[in-house]
Structure 1
């Protein structure tokens, strides 16, 4: 049975005499440490971010080449009708969701993200390449399901991984840079598909869509092998960092959170992390918001088909997909940079919602080339919301890592569940009317996502007010509180009283 210790700041202060200047010193980096922090950040950005972007690029290319393969004869070769094609599209996310929480709990338990991520990158690359050999509806469904299983660990793992390297003030811009990998895949994946359609169709007796899977899957396997050897695990284990730089890397995250970014000792920490995550209402609100924007972004699975409604050939349609994505790559980076600079998340998540709704309405109600193609540039504003939501989640789910890992996994599971059913809203019978059912669903989802953002804003604001009240009162500490403080004190090389005072600066980002 857990007992409560009536230990307060006042009582701790009687044992340890800390001046105001000493407390301030403990709550921020020294000038020398700030210089090291800049060097550390440059080193992290130079190695980790390019690898993360590259893998995410291939993740989306391997996942979405199914849509490009549709224009290259996949349906005819495998005898797929509208329903079978949509089932093949959505089945990936069934496997994807089933693996989310178990995979992230395993990642946090193993503690070797380089090998963990690298292994699964190789695995999904092999599955993608072997998809080229399917010859039936059952075969493509099986491959898509397995692809979902082996792709599942990557996204949550990389979100969890980046949160172990960057502070919340740095995350939004980096998350946007990271997410640009998926946007680039929308552009270059379809350009690659167009090139294969023109250059390799019929070579060695293989169709264009078979070459598409072989080439892109093989590239992914090579990148996965490189990840295993190049990607560092965590700051405290990266041998290329000096001891001083490793200390700064841990200290800056501990200062920001008011506690060390460590799990409790013992094998039960993962189960406790699961319980902590699933009893935090913020986990559900973020997950529903992500489900809404994922569902609203479901048009990306049909983007080549939507663009083909403009009346051009398969090759031209694949090329026309690229400009909206490239526009959003540049725009989302500026969007997230400003979000970081102003320290705001709510408004940067909400303002794209009316823009995307206007885009969906224009697409539904017009048939001429100019307005219809312009609507795509408005619809892709939904992707600007992703980087904001990722960084908002990362800064709003408190440590320990075991809780954060499960929360990220649940967030991604529920979010991607929209990808199971939204494909069935794109009805071929409504193609001539510009898919009114699908566009209506996208509008409704964006509205619900906005409501979730409003809830999160007021919930986090109330938590910040509670934190302010706690700072002005003497509060009893439980054994659990003391253990967490001791973990921080051990990392910082300070006493529990100082670690207690470090917590007083923490606020949720609104």
Structure 2
């Protein structure tokens, strides 16, 4: 009996396999080799690109609390309006830019080209003299960053099987948190070591350094990013590997066709679009506060220095990075509804504490770190992986749903925080934290509705249990040939993406660790 078979006998063993075993031994050697190439090309560039996106996105708040507000004579609420400019353009560019990203002939070059644009605009931010300059540049940054999040998730969902997608999405999503975290450290270092060098303030050096970091990542993208499976064969893949990348995907995992009015009508006629949009609106609004820890610390000055104001919030991002990785890993073992309920419970607890506000500072730190880091950190990567898998049979609808989620979510991001989280009400935000409680509850309710509505359905209404049976049978046959034929009680097969195993290595005739749910209502959401 192999180590992999032994570990699959217990829940703890399965968790270890999900964390560390990215290339299962039951896969053919050619497929394991292909997966390694995909990870070294798609995942490396995606992580670096996402890191830079959030480095660029977070630097505005770090610059604000590090002297920019005073130097450009900004008004108290201008930080809100910078975000309004950014997200208005982000919304406008979302769907059209994502549709461009979904074209096989353009996909390999689209995101790397945008990296260059982001770098140039970041350099421009280092030279602003007024809020008007910053409004214009932030709008341009928002427009050209529009396809980075949903577009990358679309690419990941186009290459990887459902059981491979979750852990990779979690690693990729760590770039979000690490970018935000690194921006805090970078600003603290720039303020300490570069403030006044060549007549430039520390916050201006932050933008310059961000731009310098971004440019080499564009070169990596042009060299290695493969685009879509239907795109031109990457130079580092053989013809056989490129064909295998297409052939190994499940039968219901289709490649994108042209987007037209029929696609829009088809997508809007199904409840999944409405459910996903409502979920993402709730997510955007329920987690808005997670980036405002620095405003609380600044209000407590001089108790906290500029360096501390930049560094202490980075632990939110550190926890979010860890939770996004571990959360998506556990999502391959534990049912999605349990993972999402736990994560939303942490966010709910944190927002209740911050609504009360008059609590010890230690409890406020705990709320920001646990709710903003651990809780909020795992919701988004699990959510988008769920959407990727649920709509995998209709790639045009999948792209439209993801783009619509971002568009609708950030449409509300533009104006709702002006009433819930105006900067002039920092740090207590008497309207914002109570509103976040309501959005958190609503988010959870729509999540549960979607998960249980689609537990045995694909987006097009077909029964995905038939597909699972075919996939499970295929992988079981491959596995049995590699196992001792005298031990028929152990079968290696694909795992259900949200943790309800389908033919996992378990003794035949015994209930799975999740009992009746795994046996009778497992879904391929």
Q: TM range, normalised to the smaller chain?
A: 0.7 to 0.9
Which residue in the other structure is 1:345 paired with? 336
* Displacement after TM superposition at 1:463 (Å): 3.3
Which residue in the other structure is 1:404 paired with? 398
Could you report, residue by residue, the CA deviation over 1:32-86 in whole angstroms, capped at 9, with x for unpaired residues? 9733222221221222212111110110110121100111211112222122221
The structure whose residues are more often helix, as a share, is 1
* Displacement after TM superposition at 1:270 (Å): 4.2
Which residue in the other structure is 1:355 paired with? 346
d(CA) in 1 for partners of 2:430, 2:56 = 29
Could you report, residue by residue, the CA deviation over 1:183-211 in whole angstroms, capped at 9, with x for unpaired residues? 11221110101101111111111112211
d(CA) in 1 for partners of 2:124, 2:117 = 11
Which residue in the other structure is 1:394 paired with? 388
Which residue in the other structure is 1:132 paired with? 126
1:426 aligns with 2:421: yes
Which residue in the other structure is 1:376 paired with? 368
Could you report, residue by residue, the CA deviation over 1:338-382 in whole angstroms, capped at 9, with x for unpaired residues? 11134x323222221121111122233334331111111222211
d(CA) in 2 for partners of 1:468, 1:403 = 17
* Displacement after TM superposition at 1:469 (Å): 11
Which residue in the other structure is 1:240 paired with? 236
Which residue in the other structure is 1:499 paired with? none
Which residue in the other structure is 2:478 paired with? none
Which residue in the other structure is 2:212 paired with? 218
| The 10-residue stretch of structure 1 (220-229 or 442-451) with the greater mean CA deviation from structure 2 | 220-229
1:253 counterpart SS class: coil
* Displacement after TM superposition at 1:234 (Å): 3.2
* Displacement after TM superposition at 1:251 (Å): 1.8
1:82 counterpart SS class: coil
Q: Which structure: larger Rg?
A: 1
1:71 counterpart SS class: helix
Quick check: 1:95–1:145 contact (8 Å CA) kept in 2? Answer: yes
1:280 aligns with 2:270: yes
Which residue in the other structure is 1:19 paired with? none
1:312 counterpart SS class: coil
1:156 aligns with 2:156: no
Quick check: 1:114–1:232 contact (8 Å CA) kept in 2? Answer: yes
| The 10-residue stretch of structure 1 (236-245 or 451-460) with the greater mean CA deviation from structure 2 | 236-245
Structure 2 unaligned blocks of 5 or more: 1-24, 467-502, 504-521
d(CA) in 1 for partners of 2:292, 2:464 = 51
Could you report, residue by residue, the CA deviation over 1:160-186 in whole angstroms, capped at 9, with x for unpaired residues? 111111112221211111111011122
Quick check: 2:353–2:364 contact (8 Å CA) kept in 1? Answer: yes
d(CA) in 2 for partners of 1:349, 1:373 = 23
d(CA) in 2 for partners of 1:140, 1:374 = 34
Q: Which residue, 277, 284, 288 being the options, matches 1:298?
A: 288
- Normalised to the residue count of structure 2, the TM-score between the two structures is 0.78
Quick check: 2:290–2:368 contact (8 Å CA) kept in 1? Answer: no
Q: Which residue, 291, 294, 319 being the options, matches 1:327?
A: 319
* Displacement after TM superposition at 1:460 (Å): 0.7
Q: 1:112 to 1:204 in 2, by over 3 A?
A: same
Q: Which residue, 405, 408, 415 being the options, matches 2:409?
A: 415
Quick check: 1:33–1:248 contact (8 Å CA) kept in 2? Answer: no
1:45-194 correspondence runs (5 A): 45-109=39-103, 111-194=105-188
Quick check: 1:196–1:208 contact (8 Å CA) kept in 2? Answer: yes
d(CA) in 2 for partners of 1:398, 1:179 = 20
Structure 1 unaligned blocks of 5 or more: 1-30, 472-504
* Displacement after TM superposition at 1:112 (Å): 2.8
d(CA) in 1 for partners of 2:294, 2:169 = 26
d(CA) in 2 for partners of 1:58, 1:126 = 13
d(CA) in 2 for partners of 1:301, 1:394 = 27
* Displacement after TM superposition at 1:262 (Å): 4.8
d(CA) in 1 for partners of 2:423, 2:237 = 56
Which residue in the other structure is 1:26 paired with? none
Which residue in the other structure is 1:308 paired with? 298
Which residue in the other structure is 1:207 paired with? 201
* Displacement after TM superposition at 1:466 (Å): 6.7
Quick check: 2:390–2:524 contact (8 Å CA) kept in 1? Answer: yes
d(CA) in 1 for partners of 2:209, 2:463 = 56
d(CA) in 1 for partners of 2:43, 2:311 = 27
Could you report, residue by residue, the CA deviation over 1:8-34 in whole angstroms, capped at 9, with x for unpaired residues? xxxxxxxxxxxxxxxxxxxxxxx9973
d(CA) in 2 for partners of 1:469, 1:161 = 22
d(CA) in 2 for partners of 1:105, 1:124 = 19
More RCO (CA 8 Å, sep 6+): 1
Quick check: 2:464–2:523 contact (8 Å CA) kept in 1? Answer: no
Which residue in the other structure is 2:358 paired with? 366
Q: 1:246 to 1:225 in 2, by over 3 A?
A: closer
d(CA) in 2 for partners of 1:240, 1:50 = 15
Which residue in the other structure is 1:509 paired with? 524
d(CA) in 2 for partners of 1:150, 1:468 = 38
Q: 1:422 to 1:177 in 2, by over 3 A?
A: farther
| The 10-residue stretch of structure 1 (329-338 or 414-423) with the greater mean CA deviation from structure 2 | 414-423
| The 10-residue stretch of structure 1 (295-304 or 462-471) with the greater mean CA deviation from structure 2 | 462-471
| The 10-residue stretch of structure 1 (172-181 or 110-119) with the greater mean CA deviation from structure 2 | 110-119
CA RMSD across the alignment: 2.6
d(CA) in 2 for partners of 1:456, 1:221 = 40
Could you report, residue by residue, the CA deviation over 1:202-248 in whole angstroms, capped at 9, with x for unpaired residues? 11111122111111023213322331222122346233223333232
